[in-house]
Amino acid sequence: MTQQYLSGLVLDGRRVVVVGGGGVAQRRLPRLLESGARIDLVSPSITPTIEGLLGNPALTWIERGYQPGDLDGAWYVVVATDDAAVNDEVSAEAEERRIFCVRSDDRSRATAWTPASGQLGTVTIGVLGGGDHRRSAAVRDSILEGLRTGELAARDAERRPGVYLVGGGPGDPELITVRGRRLLAEADVVVADRLAPQQLLDELHPDVELFDAAKLPRGRAAQQEEINRILVDRGQQGKVVVRLKGGDPYVFGRGFEEALACAAAGVPWTVVPGITSSISVPAVSGIPVTHRGVTHEFTVVSGHIPPSHPDSLVNWDALAQLRGTLVLLMAVENLPAITARLIEGGRPADTPAAAIADGTLPGQQLVTSELAGIAEVMKEHGVGAPAIVVIGNVVEVAAQLAAEQSRAAGQGRPAEPGAGAGQA
């Protein structure tokens, strides 16, 4: 078997020619563009996705078939047409000009192979599996996953101290972002909320300094001041500090207050967005917050202050007039007052409503009712905080889906994969 010599090509500002505008070219172009190469794409037609890439000034489409001389000044060639004669012609010219050439149809006649590649920070992984693309990809994925989770000890050489405001997602530890999980593996200090994925804390290195930032509802502001103090203090010590929060750091969290505290103290900080529970929890319960022909908008509102409270910043009367989906966070205690105000403002009392507690977790609960009765139904079924309340006709859409699944099961047909996942 021919042995390959792996090498990292520096293509920044150099001409690369891609012949063919189909699926293979579509897969290769993004990384070539990331490399900084000047790419000439030669093909009489291109896919819609490639057409969308033409806004990048580094990519030029030559709208015709390949012609001799197209490789003038090229440093690298990718041949990706479905015409073997054209592929032979291009690779022969590349061979004559001593230009490395990748062929999608016959690697044995190419002078370069494309490895299964991936990137984590400044580290690029490239794997060649002797022509077995699935094996190459599997090995690459295993290496990247090990680096992301910390199972492989190699850390990014450019590991930067500072404070990282990380969104942990709605609760399931599998729903944190890749970068968030990698930062946990690199952390010296972790300051965690009670709504952050608790299972991830068990994976921390034993030397990590862990602070429990759990706050009860209506907790004293002094607790936030202490959190800010810890972040600033450990950041000034040159440590990697992860502030692990539930959902997204900026969606009804106090992440930006923490960012301001770091900025005022001169501590470097970075926000790492997370999956917000306002969208994800309804989704895993089978409820889309938008649906074609049903709603054109959704509104996310904090219900931690009742409508009559002088500190409330919400225009509840305006919300009552909206026809779209209303998603309430932190509203369990004040839900009776909120639903009454919405009905008083004009939202029909029979508007479908749902409540989901412990979303994405094994103990997830889902109850449905009409707007006028959702608070009482939650009480009857013991559905407490933390819970997401969804108000709108999308809840009825979800009920129709559940009915379709039930009918399909009764007729021995498999239900749609993933539909309604996590319903209790």
**Kind of pairing between the strands at 76-79 and 15-19:** parallel
Is 156 within a domain?
A: no
Per the prediction, the chain carries an average pLDDT of: 88
Asked whether the beta carbons of 281 and 266 are under 8 A apart, the reply is: no
Same domain, 96 and 191: no
Percent of the chain with pLDDT over 70: 90
pLDDT in tens, 211-225: 887 653 444 455 888
Q: Which domain holds residue 67?
A: 15-114
Out of 105, 193, 248, 358, the active site residue is 193
Whole-number pLDDT of residue 416 = 44
**What is the DSSP secondary structure assignment for residue 185, as one 8-state letter?**
H
Indicate the residue among 258, 275, 292 that finishes a domain.
275
| DSSP string for 207-226 | T-EEEE----TT--HHHHHH
Q: What is the pLDDT of residues 83-104, one digit of tens each?
A: 999 999 999 999 999 999 999 8
Sheet containing 352-357: order of strands:
298-302, 325-329, 387-391, 352-357, 365-370
350 is catalytic: no
What CATH number should be reported for the domain holding residue 340?
Answer: 3.30.950.10
- Decide if 154 is inside a domain: no
Q: What is residue 193's predicted lDDT score, i.e. its pLDDT?
A: 86
pLDDT computed for residue 417 by the predictor: 40
Query: Do both 268 and 341 map to the same domain?
Result: no
Treating both helix axes as pointing N-terminal to C-terminal, what angle do 133-149 and 178-186 enclose, rounded to 10 degrees?
A: 50
| Whole-prediction pTM | 0.71
The residue with tokens 């989770």 is 149
My answer on whether 230 and 284 are in the same domain is no
Angle at 260 between CA 259 and CA 264, to 5 degrees: 120
User: What is the predicted pLDDT for the residue at 348?
Assistant: 96
Residues of the chain with pLDDT under 70: 1-2, 149-151, 153-159, 214-222, 410-424
Residue with tokens 């500190």: 311
Q: What is the pLDDT of residue 217?
A: 42
Where b means 16+ CB within 10 Å and e means fewer, 243-272 reads: bbbbbbbbbbbbbeebbebbeebebebebb
Count of structural domains within the chain:
4
- Look at residues 240, 275, 310 and tell me which one is the last residue of a structural domain: 275
Chain centre distance of CA 255: 19
Q: Which residues contact 27 (CB under 8 A, 6 or more apart)?
A: none
Instruction: Give strand ranges (E) for 84-231.
Output: 100-103, 116-120, 123-127, 162-167, 189-192, 209-212
What is the C-alpha to C-alpha distance for residues 262 and 259, in angstroms, rounded to an integer?
A: 5
DSSP 349: T
Cis ω for the linkage preceding 386 (within 30 of 0): yes
Cα–Cα distance for residue pair 205/381, rounded to 1 Å: 40
Strand-pair category, 240-245 with 189-192 = parallel
In a domain, 319, yes or no: yes
Which pLDDT value is given to residue 1? 55
Is 72 considered catalytic here?
no
Sign of CA dihedral 7, 149, 184, 210: negative
Catalytic residue among 215, 233, 239, 379: 215
3-state SS assignment for residue 119: strand
- 242 shares its domain with 330: no
3-state helix, strand, coil in the chain (%, to 5): 35, 20, 45
Confidence at residue 353, expressed as pLDDT on a 0 to 100 scale: 96
